[in-house]
Amino acid sequence: MDESSTLVTEPVQLTVLTLQNWQQYIFLSAIGEQTVEQFVYAAADKITPPIPYSLDQTIIFELLALERKGIIVFADKKQPLPKEFELPGMGGLK
């Protein structure tokens, strides 16, 4: 692990994951207040043009991978982040 990685620990199963690139960005930006579509558009707004053709597919693929690992969850309505994920200055993509 290096300074450009995010370390995620899961206390029940004592699992440690290192997130990099898109998975790191998604984890740090997912604040429980956006739809997948809104998240993809917000991410695209952060990229200097030209936006890659398959950006939406890449983000959705990574979202699904994080969900399978139990790192993020999809919900039908907005949910506040659990207290352990709230950090000072944390705002994600808005």
For the chain, domains (ranges, CATH) are 6-78 (1.10.10)
Supply the pLDDT for residue 92.
47
Distance in angstroms (rounded) separating the CA atoms of residues 15 and 42: 30
Query: What is the average pLDDT value for the chain, to the nearest integer?
Result: 75
Whole-angstrom CA distances from 76 to 4, 9, 20, 22 are 32, 26, 27, 23
| pLDDT tens string 59-91 | 899 889 888 888 788 888 877 777 766 655 544
Distance in angstroms (rounded) separating the CA atoms of residues 19 and 23: 6
Using the predicted structure, report yes or no on whether residue 2 has a pLDDT greater than 60: no
Supply the pLDDT for residue 87.
58
| pLDDT tens string 52-62 | 889 889 889 98
Using the predicted structure, report yes or no on whether residue 20 has a pLDDT greater than 80: no
Q: How many CA atoms within 13 Å lie on the side-chain side of 71?
A: 23
Using the predicted structure, report yes or no on whether residue 50 has a pLDDT greater than 50: yes
Using the predicted structure, report yes or no on whether residue 7 has a pLDDT greater than 80: no
